[in-house]
Amino acid sequence: MIITDLARRGESELYKVYVDYEFVCLMQAETIVKNKLKKGQEIDKQTFDEIFNQSQILTCKNQAINYVAKCLKTQKQVEIYLKQKGYTDVAIKNAVALLLDYGYLNDKYYAECFVKSKQNTKGINYIKNALKQKGINANIIDDVTKDYKANEEELLKIAEKYLKNKKMDQNIKQKLFRHLIGKGFNFDEINKTINKVLKGVYNDWD
């Protein structure tokens, strides 16, 4: 195998690597310099594959850092994202370990922030299910939601907003109930809110 060309891709730190006049991969400049690769160099397949794996691990780490820099992510979200980008399990494992070491990944902190962001619009059931889908550990979920209570005033506002311009017929109680269930509130919270917002309206229909 002969490295026939190393062409930089735009302004990035990636280079197009050509072997025997065919494009074979993109490689980090750091990896190329570290392994002293150059045009016209003869190299065996095993050595080339090892060097490529080094480059992929480095590229995977950089992409992972850019991904979490935009907004908070869970470990599972990062792993799925990198998997979709085609990185190997080894590269993903290295990238996640780096993010954890640097403090860029913290599922407990993510969960705490998520609860705070949803406390006035969603119920406990929605929050727990959403965190579970995002890959948060069950123990963490229990810990960050153990003291959670729906804001009664905000829940009342949600109900009133839903009822605005709605026809007050015999089905409105059931419709409101389903609406609030869909937002993850529990039965007691919902029934208490319905009793308040529909006081004197639905009693005549029961």
Co-location of 29 and 98 in the same domain: yes
pLDDT given for residue 65 in this prediction: 92
What is the rounded CA–CA span in Å between residue 77 and residue 140? 16
Q: Which long-range contacts (CB under 8 A, 24 or more apart) does 165-169 make?
A: 168/201
Question: Mean pLDDT, to the nearest integer, of 24-39?
Answer: 84
Give per-residue pLDDT as tens, 56-113.
Answer: 888 898 889 999 988 899 999 999 999 998 888 889 999 999 999 988 899 999 999 9
Mean pLDDT of 41-60: 86
What is the full DSSP assignment across 31-73? Answer: HHHHTT--TT-B--HHHHHHHHHHHHHHHHHHHHHHHHHHS--
pLDDT of residue 201: 58
Same domain, 134 and 163: no
Same domain, 7 and 75: yes
pLDDT score of 82: 93
34 & 65 share domain: yes
User: Between residues 126 and 168, which one has the greater pLDDT?
Assistant: 126
| pLDDT above 80 for 165 | no
Share of residues in the chain with pLDDT > 90 (%): 29
Question: What is the rounded average pLDDT of the residues 153-174?
Answer: 82
Both 25 and 97 in a single domain?
yes
- The pTM of the full predicted model, rounded to 2 decimals, is 0.72
Pair (68, 122) in one structural domain: no
The Cα 190–Cα 174 span in angstroms is 11
Average pLDDT over residues 172-188: 87
For residue 127, pLDDT beyond 80: yes
Whether 156 and 198 map to the same domain: the answer is yes
Beta-sheet pairing, 3-8 with 22-28: unpaired
Claim to verify: residue 42 and residue 133 sit in the same structural domain = no
Query: Do residues 97 and 63 share a domain?
Result: yes
The C-alpha atoms of residue 139 and residue 8 are separated, in whole angstroms, by: 47
- What's the number of domains the chain is made of? 3
- Cβ atoms within 10 Å, residue 127: 21
- Is 92 exposed, middle or buried, given 0-12, 13-18 or 19+ CB atoms closer than 10 A? buried
What is the per-residue pLDDT for 202? 54
Same domain, yes or no: 7 and 56: yes
The pLDDT assigned to 203 comes to 52
pLDDT in tens, 183-206: 888 888 888 888 888 775 555 444
Residues 39 and 115 reside in one and the same domain = no
CATH code at position 57: 1.10.10.10
- Determine the structural domain holding residue 163 and report its residue range: 152-205
CA angle 7, 93, 27 (to 5 degrees): 5
* Same-domain pairing of 44 and 95: yes
